[in-house]
């Protein structure tokens, strides 16, 4: 098993900003908590927090993030983008797109996204992303991109995720060094982040849209509060659902679970 510690991680980092300020922990509550505390203390953009184990890993929508020690890449990246909070959705979009592309590049596995940014391989979740941020007035102070990527674990051993999750090793039939995935992930995240700051989101957003497995499917969001055909996403990243009565509803938060189409 490869170890996530400063001695092994520092030499594989090829990026100019992301990961240059590096914290590697054996165990912590959540790498997002550590990155957030560091943000408040003034840590620089690109600060990367990695851990072998999280005791209280958090997912989106207040869920738990299960990650057996050693089997996952658990990371949080601190960003300080000069954008207003109204554009923060861009970080969710670029984090999902860059992660999908990085996993595809490092493993050869085709990756899709479940709105907004779960990374799917053959319909099962391989990575999840939790973006947290703080703003003052019309400026973001900081954002933390927390990424959990299942690398070398057998989902069948964990009843909570057995039916819905997958991992790199499960899909490839062999294990892969987490450090290879980390280096590729940092490359893609950094490239997309600076591309976004320089040129805007258009190109990244169209790749995101292309990868969204959710589009064209009947889905329910928030335990059936909204149910409809996922027709498209709008400029802000919201999901547009065509309901059975023909009306269009715009969904900005939640999880899109696949459903059967309505009966005749
Ligand atoms: C989700 O799919 O719900 C998002 C999961 C995000 C998990 C990662 S693991 C590293 C970072 N630290 C956390 O506590 N959560 C994120």
Q: If you take atom 7 of ligand 1, which residue's CA is the nearest one?
A: 148
Atom of ligand 1 nearest to the CA of 58: 14
Ligand 1 — pocket residues by CB below 6 A? 30-32, 54, 57-60, 63, 65, 74-76, 118, 128-130, 146-148
Domain boundaries, the chain: 6-211, 218-258
Cα(243) to centroid of ligand 1, in Å? 31
The sign of the torsion formed by the CA atoms of 185, 186, 187, 191 equals positive
Q: Which of 126, 134, 129, 113 is nearest to 206 (CA)?
A: 113
Predicted confidence (pLDDT) per residue in 42-79, tens digit = 999 999 999 999 999 999 988 999 998 889 999 999 99
78-102 pLDDT, tens digit per residue, is: 999 999 999 999 999 999 999 999 9
Query: Does domain 6-211 match CATH 3.20.20.60?
Result: no
Fold classification of 218-258 (topology level): SH3 type barrels. (2.30.30)
Atom in ligand 1 nearest the alpha carbon of residue 61: 3
**What sign results for the dihedral spanned by CA atoms 256, 131, 234, 190?**
negative
Is the model's pLDDT at 16 over the cut of 90?
A: yes
Residues contacting residue 74 through CB under 8 Å, at least 6 positions apart? 31, 50, 51, 52, 53, 54, 57, 67, 147, 148
Domain 6-211 and domain 218-258 have a common topology: no
Residue 114 CB-half CA count within 13 A: 23
């Amino acid at each position: 098993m490869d170890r996530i510690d400063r001695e092994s991680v520092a030499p594989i980092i090829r990026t100019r900003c992301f990961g240059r300020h590096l914290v590697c922990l054996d165990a912590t509550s959540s790498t997002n908590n550590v990155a957030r505390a560091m943000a408040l203390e003034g840590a620089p953009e690109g600060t990367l927090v990695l851990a072998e184990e999280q005791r209280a890993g958090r997912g989106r929508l207040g869920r738990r993030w299960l990650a057996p020690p050693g089997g996952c890449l658990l990371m949080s990246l601190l960003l300080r983008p000069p954008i207003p909070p109204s554009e923060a959705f861009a970080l969710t979009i670029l984090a999902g797109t860059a992660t999908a592309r990085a996993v595809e590049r490092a493993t050869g596995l085709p990756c899709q996204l479940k709105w907004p940014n779960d990374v799917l391989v053959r319909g099962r979740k391989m990575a999840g992303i939790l973006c947290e941020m703080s703003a003052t007035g019309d400026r973001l102070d900081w954002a933390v991109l927390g990424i959990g990527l299942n690398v070398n674990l057998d989902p069948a051993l964990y009843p909570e995720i057995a039916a819905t999750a997958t991992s790199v090793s499960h899909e490839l039939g062999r294990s892969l060094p987490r450090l290879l995935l980390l280096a590729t992930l940092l490359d893609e995240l950094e490239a997309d982040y600076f591309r976004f700051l320089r040129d805007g989101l258009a190109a990244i957003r169209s790749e995101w849209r292309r990868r969204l497995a959710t589009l064209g499917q009947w889905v329910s969001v928030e335990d059936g509060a909204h149910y409809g055909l996922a027709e498209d996403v709008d400029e802000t990243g919201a999901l547009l659902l065509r309901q059975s009565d023909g009306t269009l509803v715009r969904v900005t938060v939640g999880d899109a679970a696949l459903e059967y189409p309505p009966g005749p």
